[in-house]
Every structure is written in structure tokens, then in C-alpha cells.
Chains A and B, each alone.
Chain A
Amino acid sequence: KAGVTQTPRYLIKTRGQQVTLSCSPISGHRSVSWYQQTPGQGLQFLFEYFSETQRNKGNFPGRFSGRQFSNSRSEMNVSTLELGDSALYLCASSVNTDTQYFGPGTRLTVL
């Protein structure tokens, strides 16, 4: 079974721009969670989508948003990028509330 895929793998943007990241979960998995990883803060939960609905949300500003499509693929969007948004963005999928499997991540650099 194919694993979680994320595109693009690397992104370079400038402050003020917006970015969209994509995640395709493992086949049959309906839950997609997004995490941000930075050296200082570690792994932090952004939000989770299940059956096209946001089920949980972490403590991030409204500039961070997401959505999920009927095929369970998910996108997250960050608007008005700040330097501090530079991070590894990880997507994880699970069947429901069980083990989460991570994708390779998208490395975002904001200049």
C-alpha cells in the first residue's frame, strides 16, 4: 500500500506571499492531520480533517487554514507568510482515531 505523499517537497517563498501544501493520505484513511515542526518548538499540531470536516484545531493564527476533499486528499494554506513560518510541515493520516502515519513533509523557507 502506498504511503502518505506530500507535495511539493520544498518551497521557497517571500514574506507576505501565500502558499498551499498538498497531502494524499494512505488509501482507506479518512483522517488527515497537519503538524508544524521547527527546531525551537518541536512538532506542533495544526489541525485535523475527517470526512471533509475540520475535527480538531491547534493554537495557530487564522492565517493557517486547511480543507479536505471527498477523496480524503487535504490541502493546507498559509497566507501572509512570516519569517517564523519557515518550518517542516508534516501531514499524517490515519483510519480514524488510531495510529498516525507521517508523510515525508514539505520544507518551507520564507525569505
Chain B
Amino acid sequence: QKEVEQNSGPLSVPEGAIASLNCTYSDRGSQSFFWYRQYSGKSPELIMSIYSNGDKEDGRFTAQLNKASQYVSLLIRDSQPSDSATYLCAVRGRGNNRLAFGKGNQVVVIP
């Protein structure tokens, strides 16, 4: 079982719609969860961090964490063409500073 899984293929959404991304993780003791955005040819850029169950909103982005089900999701509201990128889910392991990443989900926002 992979540590962090992002199974969905490329996601195409019309401009103004909601993009929904999901991520599951295997280590039940994980405490810190992150979403990074990576544009083609660039390095990952932090979008959201979430540490406790529930929702966390920041502008058009909402992260949701459910530790019992071991998943974390990201919603992008009012999607813009500038949101077209690969979104990486990252989980920090128990007791260390190592981030385990999913393979990422490519999002394409169609004008």
C-alpha cells in the first residue's frame, strides 16, 4: 500500500466550477497534511495546511480532513485558468519531518 495515494486522473473543469481532489494516506498516526500546487516546470508551492478534522478555508480553497477515514481533500471554488496545475497531497510522518507525497492530480480549467 502506498503511503499517499491520489488516484484520480487529469481533471478538466469549466471556468467558474468547483474542482474536487482527494487523497488517502496509510499511516493512521500522521498529524500534518498539506496541499501543494506545482505549475509545469516550477517547484511546489504551498496552498493549504491542515492538522485537525474538519474543514479549513482560505480564499477559494477549502481543505477537508477526516482522520478516521484517512483521507484529505481539496476543493477549488470558482476555478480560474490560473488554477491549471498539478496538485500534490503531502503527509508528514509520525515523529519526523519527512513529507510523503502523492503522485499528484493534474487540473485543467477550461475557459
Which residues of A are in contact with B by a Cβ distance under 8 Å?
31, 33, 35, 42-45, 48, 50, 55-56, 58, 88, 90, 92, 94, 96-105
Decide if A99 touches B46 in the complex (CB within 8 Å): yes
Q: Is B13 an interface residue (CB 8 A)?
A: no
Which residues of B are in contact with A by a Cβ distance under 8 Å?
32, 34, 36, 42-46, 49, 88, 90, 92, 96-104
For residue A50, which residues in chain B have a CB less than 8 angstroms away from its CB? 97
A-B contact count (CB 8 A): 55
The 7 closest A-B pairs by CB, nearest first: A43-B101, A102-B43, A42-B103, A97-B97, A105-B43, A45-B98, A56-B98
* Bound complex: CA A96 to CA B101 (Å): 19
Decide if A102 touches B92 in the complex (CB within 8 Å): no
Known interface pairs A42-B102, A42-B103, A99-B34. Does A56 touch B96 (Cβ–Cβ under 8 Å)? yes
- Smallest CB–CB gap between B8 and chain A, Å? 15
